[in-house]
Amino acid sequence: MNRALAAIDAVEKALIAALAATALLLACAAMTARYLLPSVTLDWAFDLTIFVTIWATFLAGARTAGQGGHVRVDTALAILPARLRFLLIVAAGVAGIALALFLLWSGALVVEQAHRWDERTSSTLRLPLWIYYLSLPVGAFLLAFHLAVRTTKIIAGKVRDELGKHEF
C-alpha cells in the first residue's frame, strides 16, 4: 500500500511540476512575442496558460490537503484535550471527503454539459472547455482520495498530532 501511495505521490509531483513549468513558459513566450514580435498573434497562449495553471492548482491542492498542509485554525485546537482534538480532526476529514464528493458530482455535470454543448474558447485554437472544467472533478476525486487516506491513517494512529503536543 505504501509503495502504491508513493508512486501516486511521485506521479502527482511530476505532473504538477510539468504543468507549472508549462504555464510559466507559455506566459513568458506570450509576453516576449507581444513586445518583440507584435505581428505574431499568440492569443491562444493565454487560454493554455489558464488551462494548465488551473489543472496544476487543483492537483496541488488535493495533494496538499492529503499531506495536512492546508490552512486551519490551530489556535483553537491547541487548547483542546487530545481526544477532542482527535475527534475534530477526524470530523474535519470526513466533512472534507463529503465536500470533495459533492464537487466531484457537480463538476462532472458541468463537464458533461460543456461536452454536450461543444463549448470552446474564443482563441484561434478553439479549445474545448470540458478539458478545463474536468480539472474540478479530477481534483475533487484526488482530494477525496487523499483525505480518505489521511483520515484513515489518523484513525489508525499512524499520523502524529500535528500540533506536536501528544499522540492521539
Torsion over CA of 81, 83, 89 and 91, rounded to 10 degrees? -120
pTM given for the model: 0.87
Q: What is the mean pLDDT of the chain?
A: 89
Beta carbons of 68 and 150 less than 8 angstroms apart: yes
Predicted local confidence at residue 102, as pLDDT: 98
Give residue-wise pLDDT tens across range 28-51: 998 898 888 888 778 889 999 999
Cell numbers that stand for 85 in this block: 482534538
What confidence score (pLDDT) does residue 168 get?
46
pLDDT exceeds cutoff 80 at 167: no
Q: For residues 167 and 107, which has the higher predicted lDDT (pLDDT)?
A: 107
Contacts of 74 (CB under 8 A, 6+ apart): 162, 163
97-116 average pLDDT score: 98
How much is the pLDDT for 163? 54
Report how far residue 27's alpha carbon sits from residue 90's, in angstroms, rounded to the nearest whole number: 41
> Tell me, what's the pLDDT at 162?
59
Three-state DSSP state, 17? helix
Residue 13's pLDDT is: 94
9: left (phi over 0), alpha (psi -120 to 50) or beta: alpha
